[in-house]
Amino acid sequence: MTAGGSALRDIVRARPSEEVEPARDAAALLESCRQQVRPDLEAAVGTLHPWLAEMAGYAFGWCEVGGAVSTGGEGGKGVRQALALLGAEAAGSPARHGVPAAVAVELVHVFSLLHDDVMDGDAVRRRRPTVWRAYGTGPAVLAGDGLFALAVETLAHAGSPARGSRAVRLLSGALGDLVRGQADDLLFSSRPWAGEQQVRPAEYRAMVEGKTGALLGCAAATGATLAGAAPTAVAALDRAGRSLGVAFQLADDVLGLWGDPALTGKPVHNDLRERRKTYPVLAALRSATPAGRALRVLLEQDGDPAQAAELVEEAGGRAATLAEADRHLAAAHSALAEHPPAPGAVAGLTALAEFAVRRHR
């Protein structure tokens, strides 16, 4: 993508948009945005202490332990980066105006992953040892702290002082929501599978909006803010991004139970093996079906994950999750309709929205 050009210019050129498959469209968009953001992202990470910069580079997939260049490709899909650039385009500005927002939200995202992996005890991410397994718990936490501080500094110096200040406030609010969502997620692990204290699907949705949706909304909103968008348009993009984040996480929940390890980077049925209370499981438990009741007994006995996955599907957990993801996808479209984006961003936002859910079907 050329600096200042549309994020989709090279994707849709010379062919009608209706002939472009959404998944291919989104994949090309994500790659294009990563290429534009990466130089600034690498420059920002390069300002950290060399040891922290190496751990960050490892987390991003740029290098191996010890600093050797990685040949495995860049980690992560880059959805938040793309939303930040599209947020700028939605305001009618060149995509490059959203690059500092893309850098900041990507730094925060990786910061949250480093800490999440420590809290959850996850040993593998994207088919490699997690940072805490590769470097140690203390170093991983410190690297995450460094990325968080760097994200705030990046936005504080972006654009005009007024726009940079507004962007920092948006990031601060999203971080508060992310932390509250993470707190709920940790507390869910100690609650029972059934009874008055069981986790309700509505509680799970609220947790996901904070833990996942808040940062996606922040990405689009800060990109638009740095581009000078009106507050009402910024708020609409934030709502759209949050809804998209919930849809994205719900679809990831489906992958966590039935996904191909080649795509997830984790063993099949990993979420059940880790006894995580994801939406498909919660929906199945609330289904009042024989399969749902059998699932409850199996989970309480710490039974076979493969059998549990079969019961979740039989009880309607997969179908309920994808239907809920579709509802949040529709909510994202509705939010965008309140303040229609500039034409250059419409195709990109639509492709990302469809990709968020359809990639798991």
Instruction: For residue range 156-207, list pLDDT tens digits in order.
Output: 999 889 999 999 999 999 999 999 999 999 999 999 999 999 999 999 999 9
The pTM of the whole model exceeds 0.85:
yes
In this structure, the chain runs to a length of 361
pLDDT digits (tens), the chain, 361 positions = 333 344 323 322 222 333 334 455 888 889 999 999 999 999 999 999 999 999 999 999 999 999 999 877 666 789 999 999 999 999 999 999 999 999 999 999 999 999 999 998 989 888 899 999 999 999 999 999 999 999 999 999 998 899 999 999 999 999 999 999 999 999 999 999 999 999 999 999 999 999 999 999 999 999 999 999 999 999 999 999 999 999 999 999 998 898 877 766 677 788 888 889 999 999 999 999 999 999 999 999 999 999 999 999 999 999 999 999 999 999 999 999 988 888 778 888 888 888 877 765 5
Q: What is the pLDDT of residue 354?
A: 80
Q: What is the pLDDT of residue 127?
A: 84
Q: What is the pLDDT of residue 201?
A: 94
For the beta carbon of residue 1, count every other beta carbon within 10 angstroms. Answer: 22
Q: What is the pLDDT of residue 6?
A: 41
Q: What is the pLDDT of residue 359?
A: 61
Q: Are 311 and 294 in contact (CB under 8 A)?
A: yes
H-helix or E-strand spanning residue 129: strand 128-129
- CA distances 48 to 59, 70, 156, 227, 234, Å, are 14, 19, 17, 27, 31
Q: What is the pLDDT of residue 24?
A: 59
Q: What is the pLDDT of residue 70?
A: 87
From its phi and psi, is residue 358 left (phi > 0), alpha (psi between -120 and 50) or beta? Answer: alpha
Q: What is the pLDDT of residue 113?
A: 95
Q: What is the pLDDT of residue 12?
A: 26
Give the residue among 250, 260, 262 at the shortest CA–CA distance from 317: 250
Q: What is the pLDDT of residue 134?
A: 97
- CA distances 26 to 91, 251, 328, Å, are 20, 16, 18
DSSP summary character for residue 3: T
Tens-place pLDDT, residues 58-82: 999 999 999 999 877 666 789 999 9
Give the residue among 138, 118, 139 at the shortest CA–CA distance from 58: 139
Give the residue among 306, 310, 299 at the shortest CA–CA distance from 275: 299
Q: What is the pLDDT of residue 175?
A: 95
Q: What is the pLDDT of residue 95?
A: 93
